[in-house]
């Protein structure tokens, strides 16, 4: 659900800022966010607003599409239906029903914003059901940790692609000498639902470095990587304190490394250094998630 919501956000922003269906560069940016360029190339289609939007919205062959994410969420929810609130199951079921019934012809660029809005609202309604209705048991803690990890990962990808784009040399080898225009980082913040909070916290002059730092390290921004990582670590602590389900050494080490990585700095310089750093964060997130799975859900 977290992934579907993020995708919907990203597609809506991309659609808003692209100069139309044939603005291939803008839509390639979306593919780059998820390193999906090669997978898309396999479809044999040219990069256009419509082809990319459909591939991410309804294509079940694309494991990273909204349709695939919702179908996977529904299958997981089905397995957990006896412990999740009835409303959340119903909501996932309805949203999946809505998206899975969409035909290609129903997904057009003029309608994309509305469709993304429907998915975003659908996911947020689900989140509301979780917050308001899920008994705070160990299953809830795991659910939250999953969301935290997914959210942290998505935010790093979002930052990475934006900075990759602006720091990339052009065909002639020259690096942009002017800072990216305001729309670039506004769009970045908006896709993370953080534009207004950033505006409240920062001076008008704040630029890309501040925007990236905000999404990475802000302690109060709900989609920041640091907040998500610290939340996951705190829930792991709760699992031990309330249920006696202590992490093993591997998991403890992975958690500590991740927290350290996110708390030992407060600034980033856009450029290769940032890309390396984001890469590290993603690798550590994957390590954390796999050790979490191994410790609690692996074979004895």
Partner 1 sequence: MAAKGLFDNCTLPDTFCEVSGRASDSEIHRLFSRRLAKYSRSGLDRRKARAEEEMYNLGITFTLYFGDETVDRVLPFDVIPRPIIASDWAVLEAGVEQRIAALNHFLHDIYHERKILNDGVVPTDLVLGNQYYLDQMIGVDPPGGVYTHICGTDMIRDADGSFLILEDNCRTPSGVSYVIENRHLMMRSFPDLMENARVRPVSDYGVRLREKLADCAPEGVSDPNIVLLTPGLFNSAYFEHVFLAREMGVPLVEGRDLYVDETDQVFMKTVCGPEPVHVIYRRIDDAFLDPEAFREDSMLGVPGLFRAMKAGKLAIANAPGTGVADDKAVYAYMPDIIRYYLDEEPKIANVKTWVCRRPEECAYVLDHLDELVVKPVGESGGYGIVVGPKATKAELADIAKAVKADPANYIAQPMISLSTSPTLTQDGVAPRHVDLRPFAVTGKGTWVLPGGLTRVAMKKGSIIVNSSQGGGSKDTWVLS
Kindly list the residues in this chain that would bind partner 1 in the complex (CB under 8 A): 75, 78-79, 81-83, 86, 89-90, 93-94, 97, 138, 142, 239, 243-245, 296-297, 300
DSSP designation for 23: -
Place of tokens 């999740």: 84
Cβ atoms of residues 231 and 144 within 8 Å:
yes
Measured CA distances, 145 to 13, 106, 120, 190, 236 (Å): 27, 35, 20, 24, 8
Q: Hey, is 237 helix, strand or coil?
A: helix
C-alpha span between 252 and 241 (Å, rounded): 14
Cα first-last separation, the chain: 29
Q: Considering only CA atoms, which of 209, 208, 195, 212 is closest in space to residue 155?
A: 212
C-alpha span between 93 and 3 (Å, rounded): 16
How many other CB atoms are found less than 10 A from the CB of residue 111? 14
C-alpha span between 39 and 36 (Å, rounded): 5
Count CA atoms closer than 13 A to 237's CA, side-chain side: 8
Q: Hey, is 34 helix, strand or coil?
A: coil
C-alpha span between 9 and 11 (Å, rounded): 6
Place of tokens 């839509």: 27
């Amino acid at each position: 659900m977290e992934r579907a919501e993020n995708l919907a956000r990203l597609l809506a922003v991309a659609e808003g800022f692209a100069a139309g269906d044939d603005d291939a560069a803008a839509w390639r940016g979306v593919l780059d966010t998820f390193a999906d360029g090669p997978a898309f190339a396999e479809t044999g289609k040219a990069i256009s607003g419509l082809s990319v939007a459909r591939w991410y919205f309804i294509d079940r062959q694309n494991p990273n599409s909204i349709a695939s994410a919702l179908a996977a969420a529904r299958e997981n929810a089905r397995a957990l239906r006896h412990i999740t609130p009835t409303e959340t199951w119903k909501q996932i079921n309805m949203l999946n029903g809505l998206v899975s019934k969409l035909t290609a012809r129903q997904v057009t660029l003029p309608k994309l914003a509305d469709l993304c809005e429907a998915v975003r609202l659908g996911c947020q309604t689900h989140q509301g059901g979780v917050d308001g209705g899920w008994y705070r048991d160990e299953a809830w803690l795991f659910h939250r940790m999953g969301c935290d990890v997914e959210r942290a990962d998505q935010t790093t990808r979002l930052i990475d692609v934006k900075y990759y784009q602006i720091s990339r040399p052009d065909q002639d080898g020259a690096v942009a000498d002017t800072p990216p225009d305001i729309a670039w980082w506004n769009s970045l913040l908006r896709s993370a639902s953080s534009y207004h909070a950033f505006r409240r916290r920062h001076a008008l002059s704040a630029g890309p470095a501040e925007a990236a730092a905000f999404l990475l390290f802000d302690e109060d921004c709900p989609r920041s990587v640091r907040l998500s990582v610290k939340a996951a670590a705190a829930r792991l602590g709760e699992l031990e304190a309330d249920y006696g389900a202590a992490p093993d050494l591997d998991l403890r080490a992975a958690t500590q490394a991740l927290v350290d990585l996110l708390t030992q700095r407060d600034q980033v310089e856009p450029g290769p250094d940032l890309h390396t750093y984001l890469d590290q964060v993603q690798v550590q997130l994957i390590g954390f998630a796999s050790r979490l799975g191994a410790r609690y859900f692996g074979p004895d």
